[in-house]
Amino acid sequence: MQDNGPGISSSHFSKIFDPFFTTKKTGEGTGLGLSISYGIVKEHEGRLWVESPPNEGACFYVEIPVRMDETAAMRTAIEVALDADVIPQRVLVVDDEEEIAGYLHSALVRRGHHVDTANEGESAWRHIVNNRYDMILTDLKMPGMTGFWLFERIRR
């Protein structure tokens, strides 16, 4: 994928695939897109990298092998077996971005967890008051009640 924007500073190359890394203003992105893409490509034994000459845009490259070798196939089977041993937990996912909340919900349900979702802090608080959760995953930068505020309210 290629664009013709300002490009990516070479000082960011080592961080752009880290979860939640973003150079955007609050509310303009989550910093998860490249991290999730990187994870998917790695799951397929592939590579993802970027080239970005100054002021010439950025070009992301994805390379995925056509077939996995036996070792990779065996490792995948072992990972699946390990996932089957997960002890189901009650989880609340809180995120104002529906795509992210949906992705986390689906991923956790596939692993056997019982998941509720809330798209803003007040709704999350109502869930917390009425249910007992083993784990709460919350976006920290939400409009209205932020994840930080929700965390402080839970601590009290």
Instruction: Tell me the two tokens of residue 101.
Output: 């909340």
14-25 mean pLDDT: 77
pLDDT digits (tens, 9 = 90+) for 49-104: 888 888 888 888 888 887 655 555 555 555 555 455 568 889 999 999 888 899 88
Among the listed residues 129, 128, 151, the one whose alpha carbon sits nearest the alpha carbon of residue 138: 151
Q: What is the structure's pLDDT at 53?
A: 85
Domain boundaries along the sequence of the chain: 1-84, 86-155
Q: What is the structure's pLDDT at 70?
A: 58
- pTM across the whole model: 0.48
Distance, CA of 84 to CA of 100 (rounded, Å): 24
Distance, CA of 30 to CA of 154 (rounded, Å): 23
Q: What is the structure's pLDDT at 110?
A: 86
Among the listed residues 146, 138, 132, 130, the one whose alpha carbon sits nearest the alpha carbon of residue 101: 138
* Alpha-carbon 51 to chain mean position: 23
The domain defined by 86-155 carries CATH number 3.90.1170.50: no
Average pLDDT score, the chain = 81
Q: How many CB atoms lie within 10 A of CB 121?
A: 22
Q: Which fold has domain 1-84?
A: Heat Shock Protein 90 (3.30.565)
Which residues are CB-contacts of 79 (< 8 A; sequence separation ≥ 6)? none
Q: What is the structure's pLDDT at 76?
A: 54
